[in-house]
Amino acid sequence: MKSKARLMQGNEACVEGAIAAGMRFFAGYPITPSTEIAEFSAEKLPLVGGRFIQMEDEIASMAAIIGASLAGVKSMTATSGPGFSLKQENIGYAALAEVPCVIVDVQRSGPSTGLPTSPAQGDIMQARWGTHGDHPIIALTPSSVRETFDLTIKAFNLSEKYRVPVILLMDEIIGHMRERVELPDISEIEIINRKKPAVSREEYLPYKADDDLIPPMACYGEGYRFHVTGLAHDETGFPTNNPAVADKLYRRIVDKIEFHKDEIVEWEEQNTDDADIIIISVGGVARAADTAMKQLREKGIKVGTYRPITVWPFPDKRLVELADRVKAFVVAEMNLGQMVLEVERIIKDKAKLIKVNKVNGEAIYPEEIMEKIEEVL
Amino acid sequence: MGKYEIRLSGSGGQGLITGGIILAEAAILDGKNAVQTQSYGPEARGGASKAEVIISTDKIDFPKVRDCDIFLSLTQKSFDQYGKNVKENGIIIVDESIDTRNENKVIYSLPIIDTAYNVLGKPMVLNIVALGVIAAITNVVSRNALEEAVLNRVPKGTEELNKKALEMGYSIGKNAIK
Amino acid sequence: MPSEIVNKYFRTNKLPQIWCPGCGHGIITRAITVAIDKLGLDRDKICIVSGIGCSSRAPGYMDFDTLHTTHGRALAFATGIKMANPELKVIVITGDGDATAIGGNHLIHACRRNIDITTIIYNNNIYGMTGGQYSPTTPKFDKGTTVPYGNVDKAFDIPALAIAAGATYVGRSTAYHTQLLISLIENGIKNEGFSLIEAISVCPTYYGRKNKKGSAVEMLEWQKEHAVNIAAASKMTPESLDGKFLIGEFKNSPEPEYTREYQKIIDRLKKE
């Protein structure tokens, strides 16, 4: 049998994963370094009966995928930092109206137009707090081409399950990198679809949550004739100014993620058992961290790695445990210190915290992490 | 040796990113791991561009080339910009037009551009000639895998031309190591 | 006592609506339901989408699948709905500020694509929801809270904009000319492509008061006296048209519809 192994780009793996997850609508706007996601979607979607549209701008792309999702079709858009900023108002809409959708942000160097073809991780905080008001969000950070495929599927699954916008937070390194992958058989992939109402139109309350804090979701055209708004609303879905009802709504949509955090969070750790120092990093930087760890171990320095796969919600419980027994954490990121703020909040002063930051448009090299570790030892 | 770090450099439009992809695909056909990355400016044509490939029998962590085992350069600008960080025993392959400035390493200065432009008369196969040269000198990928990878990537109707380009690259490379 | 049409098509438990006494929006909203009723459409296959503003509150009162979106973006949301399920009849309700200022880009591109969406722009020449700021359709020299000394901007001619951008059905009526309005909406929905109907409303609270236009009744009377149907206008002298505005069907020339054209690609790929 011929091997299924092939060379694949991260951005292409994202589209393969999305289609495997059931994406049948993509709306986007060209922006480096995410453009290949739009291009592959345009090529592949009509082949499976899906539809692609290049909208007039980033705002419209985000709006279109929310509309399509309400009509019952799994939808995605992809962008980079500047476009991600433009999408933020409607991402908030999706969070409040609880519309499943996936937003890919292939991070590039910024702010503003920055260095469009160069990698960065400057949107860690934008992914969490980019839209206004308190809102739920999930953000996933792949660090290989194969993981981009897997996490795109996971993004759709989480989005459908929790009725929440999910950000696939890539970076230029992973998006543009090509590497050897073997994709799984479609039959081996777990697909989650949104919970549908079990009641008739007359009894259906679109925003009445079950015990899991998630309301079942009808879609347009099914005869439920329901209303969706970005205004604060009651269980019927209609606007309200009642402070108690608004308070309950805002708390529920945030709590529904908090409540399921243990099921949602994912991370990978290596050699943490005996580690004196643990490198924390995501995406493309995690690849440098792996090399740094291996080379330092060869020198007898006990280094481990901790890689959040869900950067939001941040996998904090395990980090607290690790903080009790390591001497130091090294947080390496292609920004001037964003994820480190979350780490600092979690570990308090239980362990020393060392920062490795780079914003010049180049990847963080293993040597830069190694030097910093050797410096503090 | 288990791991090769390869940098292909030149100017935008010379097909080096495609060249890097083909090299990585050939390595996969050989049953190895491969990662290809690139760096480019805003220009679609011109400027200095590089494609990097790491080929290994093991898992590849850091995907960017740090110290080259193999460095190809087709323009002076790219040689000057990307020619640093070649390993002590690394192999440098340059077009004969490049002034290598007394670089104290093994250097193969070969008529790569001339072969594509004048002998074959087809500038678009420059990258394929270069791949042939690299494979002949370094054996980083097998000849069969490289040919298969080339034929998988090139436009329909250009197969014979590309096979010929690969062959000429091979013989230039073989002659150089004689 | 709500009329039969109100009982049939409105979420009567959500009434009365929030609009001011004398506002023209209720008349226009009712006209939409009358047009739907006349066409005998399956109401479960109709989706009504709006943006933000006074007009955009309308869908909340209408008993269909309804979506109240973000400011200016109704057409972009609606495009997603139509692409996801081309079987749905998608109607967009929007205002002059929503559609032609913040949403202007979406408007021209929806026209250009000729996607099957019927858009009704409730034009009250003002931002009512935020308290009377001037909009892209506020006439020159008129006043609003942000043009206290008179407006120096030139107003948009919405039908001309839509025609230039490629909409295949374009018309204009007023809150006074309800029968014409109903028939334009009917024809707009029937047109398989992008249809735009400008419905000139009245805002006695902000636009009317700021500009001394009198009561709601007087404003409607002004519409009656100054509107000229485009069919009649062609036979009138330029002098007699001075100070008047045109209403009626401005364009009705069907072209291939966007989602159908896309479907052809899907079908062709299936065969290959």
Are residues B24 and A173, on separate chains, in Cβ contact within 8 Å?
A: no
Degrees (nearest 5) of the Cα angle A7, A13, A16? 120
Structure tokens at A213: 């804090």
Closest CA to A25 of A56, A59, A67: A67
A235 and A205 Cβ atoms separated by less than 8 Å: yes
Coil, helix or strand at residue B11 = strand
Of A176, A288, A366, the CB nearest to B38: A176
| Domains along the sequence of chain A with CATH | 6-188 (3.40.50.970), 267-376 (3.40.50.920)
Domain boundaries, chain B: 3-177
Structure tokens at C158: 């919405």
The residue of chain A with its CA nearest to that of B24 is A7
Q: From the CA of A179, how many Å to the nearest CA of chain B?
A: 4
Closest CA to C32 of C21, C12, C48, C50: C48
C96 and C162 Cβ atoms separated by less than 8 Å: no
Q: Is the ipTM of this complex over 0.90?
A: yes
A96 and A158 Cβ atoms separated by less than 8 Å: no
Of B24, B60, B63, the CB nearest to A7: B24
Are residues C60 and A238, on separate chains, in Cβ contact within 8 Å?
A: yes
Q: Is the sign of the CA dihedral A42, C86, A101, A113 positive or negative?
A: positive
pLDDT < 70 stretches in chain C:
1-2
| Packing angle, helices A58-70 and C104-113, rounded to 10 | 70
Closest CA to A32 of A91, A86, A78, A89: A78
Could you write out the DSSP letters of every residue in A198-264? -S-TTT--TT---TTS------TTSS---EEESS-B-TTS-B---HHHHHHHHHHHHHHHHHTHHHH
CA A133 to chain centre: 19
Chains in contact with B, where contact requires at least 3 CB pairs less than 8 Å apart: A
Number of Cβ within a 10 Å radius of residue A212: 12
Closest CA to B83 of B54, B114, B105, B60: B105
Closest CA to A138 of A108, A110, A169: A169
Structure tokens at C87: 């079987």
Coil, helix or strand at residue C229 = strand
pLDDT < 50 stretches in chain B:
none
Q: Is this model's pTM higher than 0.90 or not?
A: yes
Pick the CATH number of B3-177 from 3.50.50.60, 3.40.640.10, 3.30.300.30, 3.40.920.10: 3.40.920.10
Residue A377 is predicted with a pLDDT of 82
Residue B38 is predicted with a pLDDT of 86
Distances (CA, A) of A241 to A90, A226, A245, C69: 21, 19, 8, 18
Task: Give the end-to-end CA distance of chain B in Å, rounded to a whole number.
Answer: 22
Residue C62 DSSP symbol = B
Measured between alpha carbons, how far is B12 from C116 in angstroms, rounded to an integer? Answer: 43
Letter string b/e over residues C107-124, b meaning 16 or more CB atoms within 10 A of that residue's CB: bbbbbebbbbbbbbbbbb
Dihedral in degrees, nearest 10, Cα atoms A30, A31, A32, A35 = -30
Q: Which residue has the tokens 């171990």?
A: A297
Task: Give the end-to-end CA distance of chain A in Å, rounded to a whole number.
Answer: 51
Number of Cβ within a 10 Å radius of residue A77: 33
Let me know if chains C and A touch, i.e. at least 3 Cβ pairs under 8 angstroms.
Answer: yes
A283 and A308 Cβ atoms separated by less than 8 Å: no
pLDDT < 70 stretches in chain A:
1-3
Chains in contact with A, where contact requires at least 3 CB pairs less than 8 Å apart: B, C
Residue A307 is predicted with a pLDDT of 98
Structure tokens at C250: 């401005």
Question: Pairing between strand A25-28 and B3-12?
Answer: unpaired
Residue B39 is predicted with a pLDDT of 81
Which residues of chain C does A231 touch, with a Cβ-Cβ cutoff of 8 Å? 68
Residue B1 is predicted with a pLDDT of 54
The fold of the C4-271 domain, in CATH, is Rossmann fold (3.40.50)
Of A56, A68, A89, the CB nearest to C80: A68
What's the burial of C222, exposed, middle or buried (CB within 10 Å: 0-12/13-18/19+)?
Answer: middle
Are residues A288 and B39, on separate chains, in Cβ contact within 8 Å?
A: no
Which residues of chain A does B60 touch, with a Cβ-Cβ cutoff of 8 Å? 179
Q: From the CA of A28, how many Å to the nearest CA of chain C?
A: 11
Number of Cβ within a 10 Å radius of residue A202: 6
CA C17 to chain centre: 18
Q: Chain B within 8 Å of A268 (Cβ-Cβ)?
A: no
Coil, helix or strand at residue A168 = strand
Which residues of chain A does B21 touch, with a Cβ-Cβ cutoff of 8 Å? 7, 178
Coil, helix or strand at residue C136 = coil
Closest CA to A174 of A131, A206, A205, A142: A142
Give residues with Cβ within 8 angstroms of C1, minimum separation 6.
none
Sheet containing B68-73: which strands, arranged edge to edge? A6-9, A178-181, B33-39, B46-56, B3-12, B68-73, B86-95, B106-110
Report whether the peptide linkage leading into residue C139 is cis, meaning its omega lies within 30 degrees of zero: no
Measured between alpha carbons, how far is C215 from C204 in angstroms, rounded to an integer? Answer: 6
Q: Chain C within 8 Å of A99 (Cβ-Cβ)?
A: no
Q: Chain A within 8 Å of B21 (Cβ-Cβ)?
A: yes
